[in-house]
């Protein structure tokens, strides 16, 4: 099922220059925009400095844990080759040939989206949508298998939940 879904999505690539451009944008560059928006949200937050510090700390620790620690530990013990190493795969984004599972991008951006969820529910919808767009675009671009993105999403969300529990951050219904 993982391969069937991958090839279904990856076969969308290479048909239109405009569509390929969008996939490259979301799979490779949109991440920078999301991070910039996060920084702006934190800086322009009208709440007190303590609240801004909590948002920033939760997001930072969660993303480091998910992307920098858990993802790298899994990749150290389990090497999953990138899909673009297979013949017939449309590769739109050129990436290193390191392990594919789990997706570091998905782990990072789902951790960020979940961290934002605890403080700004409405903004978290934007960030979850962005994380999904990044993940699906990286599948279409031939960089990740669907299971890589799903695994990264689970790691990111769970990382934020664990850090939230450790620091006893309560859910805000904004």
Q: What is the pLDDT of residues 109-134, one digit of tens each?
A: 999 999 999 888 899 999 999 999 99
The mean of the pLDDT values for the chain is 90
Asked if 51 and 129 touch (Cβ cutoff 8 Å), the reply is no
DSSP 8-state symbol, 104: H
pLDDT at residue 172 in the model:
58
Lowest mean pLDDT among 6-10, 40-44, 62-66, 97-101: 97-101
CATH topology for 2-166? Answer: Vanadium-containing Chloroperoxidase; domain 1 (1.20.144)
Q: Which two tokens stand for residue 108?
A: 């990072």
Q: Is the pLDDT of residue 57 over 60?
A: yes
| Residue pointed to by tokens 């390929």 | 20
Which residue has 């928006």 as its token pair?
A: 37
Model confidence band, residue 45 (pLDDT cutoffs 50, 70, 90): confident
3-class state of residue 68 by DSSP: helix
- Extract the tokens encoding 129: 């949508």
> With bands split at pLDDT 50, 70 and 90, how would you rate the model's confidence at 170?
low
The pLDDT of 97-120, averaged and rounded, is 92
Domain boundaries along the sequence of the chain: 2-166
Measured between alpha carbons, how far is 109 from 152 in angstroms, rounded to an integer?
9
Confidence class for position 160, pLDDT limits 50, 70, 90: very high
- Nearest to 60, CA basis, from 167, 174, 173: 167
Q: What is the pLDDT of residue 70?
A: 96
Confidence of residue 94 (pLDDT cuts 50, 70, 90): confident
Structure confidence at residue 11 (pLDDT): 87
The number of beta carbons lying within 10 Å of the beta carbon of residue 123 is 16
* Phi and psi, residue 131, nearest 5°: -65, -40
Biggest distance spanned by C-alpha atoms of the chain:
54
């Amino acid at each position: 099922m993982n391969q069937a879904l991958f090839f279904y999505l990856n076969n969308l690539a290479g048909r239109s220059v405009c569509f390929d451009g969008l996939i490259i944008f979301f799979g490779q560059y949109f991440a920078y925009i999301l991070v910039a928006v996060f920084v702006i949200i934190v800086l322009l937050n009208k709440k007190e400095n303590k609240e801004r510090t909590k948002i920033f700390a939760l997001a930072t620790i969660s993303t480091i844990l998910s992307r920098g620690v858990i993802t790298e530990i899994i990749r150290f013990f389990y090497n999953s080759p990138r899909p673009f190493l297979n013949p017939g795969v449309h590769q739109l984004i050129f990436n290193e040939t390191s392990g594919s599972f789990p997706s570091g991008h998905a782990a990072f951006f789902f951790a960020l989206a979940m961290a934002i969820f605890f403080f700004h529910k409405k903004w978290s919808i934007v960030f979850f949508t962005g994380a999904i767009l990044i993940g699906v675009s990286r599948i279409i671009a031939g960089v990740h298998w669907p299971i890589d993105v799903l695994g990264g999403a689970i790691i990111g969300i769970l990382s934020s939940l664990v850090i939230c529990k450790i620091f006893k951050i309560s859910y805000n219904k904004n």
